[in-house]
């Protein structure tokens, strides 16, 4: 069913492009997250050349190899891919059916939960530390066996489940379903 | 509003709420006031007002700092590091490469930022690094106190596996012996507490400048402009940032 839905949606090159853009955006956000302040300083500095403004963020993408553990890199990449897939499926659903249901809610939950786990193991969960303070965030991470990786894994699971729900909706036949018929 | 309409709207609202929460958290973390809990937490100033993450709060670089390279270099990289952090270990090698490549153009300044809640041994190790410094000096066979510090730090990161897996009771004196320190003086220094305040100053300064993990670095240009760099970034990124900083006059 999932394969069927994916084949249906990604038969159109536009949805492939949409998924790629959404995935890249999610990946870039995750990898740039620890250094958004630096990027803001560089991008708003008129004395920095356009070449440098582009070169630095591109080189920072390689930090997936230096600033992430194997686990955090894996779920970061998985979340990015699933965000792209979910985005394409949701847009397709809206296009075809006009509404979308529980799958998107689960997907949003997955993105949010995965985002809590984002931030390298060294720099801590940036979202978590923002929400409950650095000491609180680090304290919670220290208690967890995977130091916050649990959120990333949960994000992947939720996004995977969202993909399943969305695929189920996409492969449902387009029929009118009667509710209460009052005679 | 009908129940069906509510159900239809709840989904996009959920997505929007999640996005706003994430965006808000990111903006708060990068530009808003520091939300750290104050009293009672280790690694926190007791009852002190919490400053915002301000790069200009960075303590000036002085002769008391551990500086590798030319102290008058046009670009200085101030690194706040935790001896048990695996990413600091990797970044130590990156900065060694940068120091080698850029020679007199770049100075590397090491400051302590042990994350007590994650690495319970790191603070003691920070003390050990300071105790190594303590034994260096003009007439010391180790060279200057600065030389002793860097020899100890390099050997530490070379030898140990990170994440509190080191038996510090064995390894701290072992490295001291390897680099030629007086073992007895070193052991006395470790227990003395004389560097506790200095290390805590470094920690508070890291937090004041916006550090919330390690390695946390600030690249300072000749004109005093500061660029924050969080995490063990690849050498290519560090190199680009240094080149950018060198252009700044």
Which of A48, A132, A133 lies nearest to residue B244, judging by beta carbons? A48
The answer to the question of residue B56 being in a domain is no
pLDDT grade for B153, boundaries at 50, 70 and 90 = very high
> Which of B46, B117, B216, B245 best probes binding to A when mutated, by most A CB atoms within 10 angstroms?
B117
The answer to the question of residue B21 being in a domain is no
Q: Where are the domains of chain A?
A: 2-26+70-170
Range of the domain at B162: 63-247
Integer angstrom CA distances of residue A14 from A7, A22, A25, A170: 13, 12, 16, 17
Cβ atoms of residues B207 and B34 within 8 Å: yes
Residue A155 has pLDDT above 90, yes or no: no
Q: Which residues of chain A are within 8 Å of residue B122 when distances are taken between CB atoms?
A: none
Which of A28-32, A139-143, B11-15 is predicted with the least confidence, judged by mean pLDDT? B11-15
The answer to the question of residue B99 being in a domain is yes
The whole-number pLDDT of residue B140 equals 60
CA dihedral (A99, A103, A109, A115) positive or negative: negative
The answer to the question of residue B225 being in a domain is yes
> Which chain B residue is nearest to residue A113, measuring alpha carbons?
B18
* Confidence check on the interface: ipTM exceeds 0.95, yes or no: no
Cα–Cα distance for residue pair B246/B242, rounded to 1 Å: 6
Overall domain count for chain B: 1
* Range from A108-117, A173-182, B2-11, B222-231 that averages highest in pLDDT: B222-231
Tokens (6 digits) for A157: 């699971």
Residue A50 has pLDDT above 60, yes or no: yes
Cα–Cα distance for residue pair A56/A71, rounded to 1 Å: 25
The residues, ordered by sequence, that sit 6+ positions from B9 with a Cβ below 8 Å of its Cβ are: none
Burial class (CB in 10 A: 0-12, 13-18, 19+), A28: middle
B223 has a chain A CB within 8 A of its CB: no
Which of B14, B210, B213 lies nearest to residue A122, judging by beta carbons? B213
More confident residue, A100 or A64: A64
**What CATH number has the domain bearing residue B238?**
3.40.30.10
Residue A135 has pLDDT above 60, yes or no: no
Residue B233 and residue A127: Cβ atoms within 8 Å? no
Work out the minimum CA distance from A93 to partner chain B, whole angstroms. 13
The answer to the question of residue B203 being in a domain is yes
> Which chain B residue is nearest to residue A55, measuring alpha carbons?
B240
- pTM attached to this predicted model: 0.81
Please provide the average confidence, as pLDDT, over all residues in chain A: 79
């Amino acid at each position: 069913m999932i394969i069927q839905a994916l084949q249906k949606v990604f038969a159109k090159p536009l949805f492939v492009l949409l998924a790629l853009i959404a995935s890249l955006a999610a990946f870039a956000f995750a990898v740039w997250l620890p250094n958004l302040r630096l990027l803001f300083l560089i991008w708003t500095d008129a004395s920095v050349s356009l070449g440098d403004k582009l070169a630095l963020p591109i080189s920072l993408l390689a930090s997936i190899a230096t600033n992430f553990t194997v686990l955090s890199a894996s779920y970061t990449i998985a979340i990015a891919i699933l965000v792209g897939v979910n985005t394409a499926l949701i847009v397709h659903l809206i296009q075809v059916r006009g509404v979308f249901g529980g799958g998107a809610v689960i997907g949003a939950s997955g993105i949010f939960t995965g985002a809590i786990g984002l931030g390298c193991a060294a720099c801590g969960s940036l979202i978590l530390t923002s929400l409950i303070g650095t000491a609180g965030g680090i304290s919670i991470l220290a208690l967890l066996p995977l130091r916050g990786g649990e959120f990333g894994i949960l994000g992947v699971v939720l996004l995977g489940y969202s993909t399943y729900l969305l695929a189920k909706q996409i492969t449902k036949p387009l029929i009118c379903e009667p509710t209460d018929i009052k005679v | 509003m009908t129940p069906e309409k509510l159900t239809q709207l709840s989904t996009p609202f959920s997505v929007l709420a999640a996005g706003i929460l994430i965006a808000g958290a990111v903006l708060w973390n990068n530009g808003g006031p520091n939300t750290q809990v104050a009293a009672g937490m280790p690694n926190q100033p007791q009852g002190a007002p919490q400053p915002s993450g301000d790069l200009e709060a960075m303590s000036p670089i002085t002769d008391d700092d551990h500086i590798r390279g030319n102290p008058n270099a046009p670009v200085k990289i101030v690194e706040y590091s935790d001896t048990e952090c695996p990413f600091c270990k990797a970044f130590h090698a990156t900065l060694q490469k940068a120091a080698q490549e850029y020679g007199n153009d770049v100075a590397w300044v090491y400051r302590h930022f042990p994350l007590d809640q994650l690495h319970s041994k790191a603070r003691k190790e920070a003390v050990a690094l300071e105790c190594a410094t303590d034994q260096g000096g003009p007439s010391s066979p180790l060279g200057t106190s600065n030389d002793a510090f860097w020899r100890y730090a390099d050997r530490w990161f070379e030898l140990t596996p990170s994440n509190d897996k080191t038996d510090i009771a064995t390894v701290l004196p072992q490295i001291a012996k390897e680099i030629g320190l007086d073992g007895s003086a070193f052991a006395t220094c470790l227990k003395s507490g004389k560097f506790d305040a200095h290390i805590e100053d470094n920690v508070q300064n890291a937090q004041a400048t916006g550090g919330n993990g390690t390695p946390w670095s600030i690249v300072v240009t000749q004109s005093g402009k500061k660029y924050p760099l969080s995490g063990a970034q690849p050498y290519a990124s560090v190199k680009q940032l240094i080149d950018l900083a060198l252009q700044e006059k």
